């Protein structure tokens, strides 16, 4: 575990990133608490755009367009990195006004699967589907207690969703048409944690960032759970939120500080003690 980019004294300063996404060229894009959208590459940072709100989850589509959830505006924005054009894509779908748009995954069709967290401890349907034209619908009617990070499996047949205040991760089956194909199963229970973001390896391992305690967990395809990184001082890893792969590295956003953390995803291996979490 090491610092990937230190933005405390950079120009511009990295303003408490929560969401991040890795572009096809390896550049890391992340948001800021003032709505900033940053690009980090070759040890340098630039602010490309700003929503003027508070950026949460980010994701790229196959065309290289960047989508951003904004807490303050309760809306999803789309950025064209080539032109710098930023547009407000949607503030809801048919019959569902966004309250806390939080995380995005882009499926093989180019549709956006989106969590709308709502408010803590007030379970409500929190999974939506948005199309590139801004139209959409509720993807699932299952009530969730703060739907947060989400990620698709490599084959696109499973959507993993962090249910933060239920302290678990759910696995929803996905049909051939991209719609929910049935009720979810509990993929892993995480008592005593505040899980936030999730990323899925091609081989099926799920990497889960915990806002509290400051740690990243790995759930292996067979169900074994390991601690990939843990920082009891909340310094090098400080309230991590979203995570994304960059080659064999995992990049974590630290909402509690001004830097991004890098983990070697090929070296996770601290077994949990018996009686810990369950998958």
Q: Domain limits of the chain?
A: 2-268
Tell me whether strands 75-80 and 85-90 are parallel, antiparallel or unpaired.
antiparallel
**C-alpha closest to that of 30 among 61, 52, 59:** 59
**Pair 197, 260: CB distance under 8 Å:** no
pLDDT at 101: 98
Instruction: Give the integer Cα–Cα distance in Å for 219 and 231.
Output: 19
pLDDT at 95: 85
What 3-state class would DSSP assign to 258?
coil
pLDDT in tens, the chain (279 residues): 999 999 999 999 999 999 999 999 999 999 999 999 999 999 999 999 999 999 999 999 999 999 999 999 999 999 999 999 999 999 999 889 999 999 999 999 999 999 999 999 999 999 999 999 999 999 999 999 999 999 999 999 999 999 999 999 999 999 999 999 999 999 999 999 999 999 999 999 999 999 999 999 999 999 999 999 999 999 999 999 999 999 999 999 999 999 999 999 875 444 444 445 556
pLDDT at 269: 45
pLDDT at 275: 45
**Pair 126, 147: CB distance under 8 Å:** yes
Token reading at 102 = 């939080």
Backbone angles phi, psi at 166, to 5 degrees: -85, -10
DSSP-derived secondary structure letter, 278: B
pLDDT at 265: 87
What 3-state class would DSSP assign to 221?
coil
pLDDT at 277: 59
pLDDT at 73: 98
Residues ≥6 apart with Cβ < 8 Å to 65: 78, 79, 80, 81
Output the DSSP codes for 53-67: S-EEEEEE-TTS-EE
Topology classification of domain 2-268: Neuraminidase (2.120.10)
Q: What is the pTM of this model?
A: 0.95
């Amino acid at each position: 575990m090491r610092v990937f980019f230190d933005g405390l004294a950079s120009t511009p300063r990295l303003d408490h990133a929560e969401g991040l996404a890795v572009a096809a060229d390896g550049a890391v894009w992340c948001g800021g608490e003032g709505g900033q959208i940053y690009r980090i590459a070759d040890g340098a940072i630039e602010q490309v755009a700003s929503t003027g709100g508070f950026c949460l989850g980010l994701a790229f589509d196959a065309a290289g367009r960047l989508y951003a959830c904004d807490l303050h505006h309760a809306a999803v924005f789309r950025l064209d990195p080539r032109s710098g054009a930023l547009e407000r894509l949607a503030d809801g779908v048919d019959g569902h006004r966004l309250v806390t748009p939080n995380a995005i995954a882009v499926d093989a069709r180019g549709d956006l699967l989106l969590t709308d967290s709502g408010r803590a401890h007030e379970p409500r349907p929190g999974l939506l589907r948005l199309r590139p034209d801004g139209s959409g619908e509720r993807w699932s009617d299952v009530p969730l207690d703060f739907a947060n990070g989400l990620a698709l499996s490599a084959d696109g047949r499973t959507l993993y969703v962090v249910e933060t205040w239920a302290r678990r991760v759910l696995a929803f089956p996905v049909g051939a048409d991209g719609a929910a194909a049935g009720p979810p199963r509990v993929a892993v229970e995480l008592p005593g944690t505040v899980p936030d973001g999730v990323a899925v390896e091609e081989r099926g391992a799920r990497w889960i960032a915990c806002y509290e305690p400051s740690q990243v967990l790995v759930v292996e395809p067979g169900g074994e759970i390991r601690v990939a990184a843990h920082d009891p001082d909340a310094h090098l890893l400080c309230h991590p939120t979203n995570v994304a792969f960059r080659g064999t590295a995992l990049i974590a956003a630290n909402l509690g500080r001004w830097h991004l953390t890098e983990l070697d995803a090929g070296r996770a291996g601290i077994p949990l003690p018996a009686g810990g979490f369950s998958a």
